[in-house]
Amino acid sequence: MASESGKLWGGRFVGAVDPVMEKFNSSIAYDRALWEVDVQGSKAYSRGLQKAGLLTKEEMDQILHALDKVAEEWAQGTFKVNPSDEDIHTANERRLKELIGETAGKLHTGRSRNDQVVTDLRLWMRQDCSRLSALLWELIRTMVDRAEAEHDVLFPGYTHLQRAQPIRWSHWILSHAVALTRDSERLLEVQKRINVLPLGSGAIAGNPLGVDRELLQAELNFGAITLNSMDATSERDFVAEFLFWASLCMTHLSRMAEDLILYGTKEFSFVQLSDAYSTGSSLMPQKKNPDSLELIRSKAGRVFGRCAGLLMTLKGLPSTYNKDLQEDKEAVFEVSDTMSAVLQVATGVISTLQIHRENMARALSPDMLATDLAYYLVRKGPPVLWRREPRVGLWPQCGAVHHPGGHSALQCRLADRPGASTAAGPAGLEPSPPRFSIKLAQEEAAAFFLPGLAPSAVGFQEPSRSGEHGQGWQEEMGKEERGLGPLPCSGPTPSPAGQLGNLLPGVSWEDWPPGSLDGT
């Protein structure tokens, strides 16, 4: 029950609290966000008190009606917070007393703010996880739709920021979508652990008044009940897990933003942000800055800081509730707001992003196919030496050279049919792999595509090893498992010759390998 000063704890105190201390101690500036769930929890608790015989039916109805009035004032923005309102619980009970008098004091019978606040926080976070999950899935769906629409676009894949292998643009998009799918799963797991009822634990030693916790669980739709009252009022594992989830999700979003920032520079010119998600310079009119992506990248640090800050708060606390735990709510609210904004901005960036196919194609070069050809030779069963010894590996015999005709082409000795003779290799080395004709190269290339390049795949499939040539594709994961599965091609399957033409502009099948190495 509140004292004459309006404090829930003021009974034994004689002097007034120092104004600076009162402001320092107050959390109403931010925990007012819990007003709705605080009313919800109080309604459930009043029903528990009535069942336990601690409230009459008339008193319970009076409290429930007054709580509806409190909620209405909050919803309409007419609720007046007093300077003495230390927190949301004090504010609501003070207003309840103004509406129905001393009956309001009975609502707090057997209830501590220790179990009340953690119940409120769990209710709020449970609801917020559903909201963030919906925003996250909207981003994932946007990425999948984009990958499906642009599955035919090829561009360089990078390792160590060096051009590595040709990949599909859709493969890059879905690499980030897969990471976000894990984040979505992780958030649902966190939500399950949030959904545990602590109400009825009292301050530390439980509630001896016969309040039915199973009734409270049913009223508030919790999935389980806490097992220990000391732990229930003081543990904030669920807060730490939520903040870690946000930190990991922001890590993934920050990395995606960094890629797009690089791809959007003049040096790459692969993508261009929409004006709706860019800003300019006050001094340099030619500038178009990717502020949306830069802020996604930078806000990751704020989220990390909140996670680390909470862990630092928790690690030195003695058992049960301490005022330090007041810091948890501000961290949760700020991180929730940040995640909400970031997910919506990221969805907008992806949905409006413009890609420059021509620039992506120009960035592809023949030497990027060296690994593909190495895989090809492995399938053909070449001598083992070139795989063991770098000097006799694929690259010395498969380099990008300029032909008199003015275009680049791949020089490579390719494995022939079984039984063919071998040509002499470089001095001191074993014979080079046998050579074979262009027509066989066409047939073999048509039977083999790397993950992310296969016409029937968009990055979620791996090649099957069944069959003589490894033909066929097996789904690594279906739509039922991840919601992202293999995506069908929207157009006709491109021919191997068309694939080569996309990879190497100006080079036809007749040019590859060059005639001098064709063996025909």
Measuring CA to CA, which residue among 89, 84, 28, 39 is closest to residue 64? 39
Active site residue 281: yes
> Catalytic residue among 130, 281, 490, 495, which?
281
Joined tokens for residue 125:
């976070």
Yes or no: say if 40 and 70 are a contact pair by the CB < 8 Å rule: no
Q: Report in angstroms the alpha-carbon separations of 154 from 31, 206, 401, 451, 453.
A: 50, 63, 22, 13, 8
Measuring CA to CA, which residue among 387, 377, 379, 396 is closest to residue 434? 377
Joined tokens for residue 436:
């074979």
- The β-bridge partners of 284 are none
Active site residue 298: no
Yes or no: say if 339 and 243 are a contact pair by the CB < 8 Å rule: no
Vertex 85 angle, CA 83 and 86, to 5°: 110
CB-based contacts of 41: which residues, under 8 Å, 6+ apart?
116, 119, 120, 123, 199, 220
CB-based contacts of 321: which residues, under 8 Å, 6+ apart?
114, 203, 204, 233, 234
Measuring CA to CA, which residue among 142, 144, 35, 132 is closest to residue 90? 35
Buried b (16+ CB within 10 A) or exposed e, 430-455: eebbbbbebeebbebbeebbbbbbbb
Helix H, strand E, coil C: the string for 40-87 is: HHHHHHHHHHHHCCCCCHHHHHHHHHHHHHHHHHHHHCCCCCCCCCCC
- The β-bridge partners of 167 are 155
Q: Hey, what amino acid is at 91?
A: A
Yes or no: say if 413 and 434 are a contact pair by the CB < 8 Å rule: yes
Output Rg (C-alpha) for the chain, integer angstroms.
Answer: 33
Return the active site residues.
Answer: 160, 281
